[in-house]
């Protein structure tokens, strides 16, 4: 189960119409910045984009884990988006991405960041978890699937 500070219903987009990787990252940035007084959507988007330029965070099987470090936060923040149709994301398997979990971590949170990324990658490698996330029709259902793993 994730910490309530990591992900909440307010930072989950369900059944979203998104047509591009850029728009997906913008949406995730909006969700991440929405509840944090010191975060600006544009800065979060730029950090996520900078990380993508180093190499795609598309894991395969329709999953992406965009992430970035920020000095303006003290705790890890997450956001999740489920899209109606997958978007071209330059994933390792070439498949479009329809499930994306974004993370923002404090600049100094090396170990925590790596553990959380590993946990999420493991979670999304489960075929049943991916199926349940794709079947969910509300943010509350998506949060429940994420928290029950």
Residue 49 belongs to some domain of the structure: yes
DSSP the chain: ---TTT--GGGEEEEE---SHHHHHHHHHHHHHHT-TT--HHHHHHHHHHHHHHS--EEETTEE--EEEETT-SS-EEEEEEEEEEE----TT-PPEEEEEEEEEETT-HHHHHHHHHHHHHHHT-HHHHHHHHH--SHHHHHHHHHT-
**Number of other CB atoms surrounding residue 140 within 10 Å:** 11
Mean pLDDT by 10 residues, the chain (149 residues): 81 97 98 90 96 94 95 90 96 95 87 83 94 97 89
The CATH number of residue 39's host domain is: 3.40.930.10
Residue 23 belongs to some domain of the structure: yes
Residue 77 belongs to some domain of the structure: yes
Closest CA to 11 of 88, 79, 58, 60: 79
**Number of other CB atoms surrounding residue 137 within 10 Å:** 10
Residue span of the structural domain in which 83 resides? 9-147
Rounded to whole angstroms, how far apart are CA atoms 73 and 120? Answer: 20
Residue 1 belongs to some domain of the structure: no
Total number of domains in the chain? 1
Residue 4 belongs to some domain of the structure: no
Residue 3 belongs to some domain of the structure: no
* pTM for this predicted structure: 0.94
Q: What was the pLDDT predicted at 145? A: 94
Residue 38 belongs to some domain of the structure: yes
Task: Show the tokens assigned to 136.
Answer: 């969910």
**Tens digits of per-residue pLDDT, 27-54?**
999 999 998 888 999 999 999 999 999 9
Rounded to whole angstroms, how far apart are CA atoms 99 and 65? Answer: 9
Instruction: For residue 115, indicate whether it is catalytic.
Output: no
Catalytically annotated residue among 36, 67, 113, 119: 67
């Amino acid at each position: 189960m994730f910490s309530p500070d990591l992900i909440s219903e307010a930072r989950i987009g369900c059944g979203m119409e998104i047509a591009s990787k850029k728009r997906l990252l913008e949406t995730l940035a909006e969700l991440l910045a929405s509840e944090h007084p010191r975060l600006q959507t544009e800065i979060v988007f730029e950090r996520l984009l900078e990380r993508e330029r180093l190499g795609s965070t598309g894991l395969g099987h329709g999953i992406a884990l965009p992430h970035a470090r920020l000095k303006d936060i003290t705790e890890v923040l997450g956001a999740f988006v489920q899209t109606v149709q997958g978007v071209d994301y330059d994933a390792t398997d070439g498949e479009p991405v329809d499930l994306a979990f974004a993370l923002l971590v404090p600049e100094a949170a090396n170990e925590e960041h790596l553990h959380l990324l590993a946990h999420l990658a493991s979670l999304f490698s489960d075929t049943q978890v991916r199926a349940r996330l794709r079947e969910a029709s509300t943010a509350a259902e998506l949060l429940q699937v994420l928290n029950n793993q």
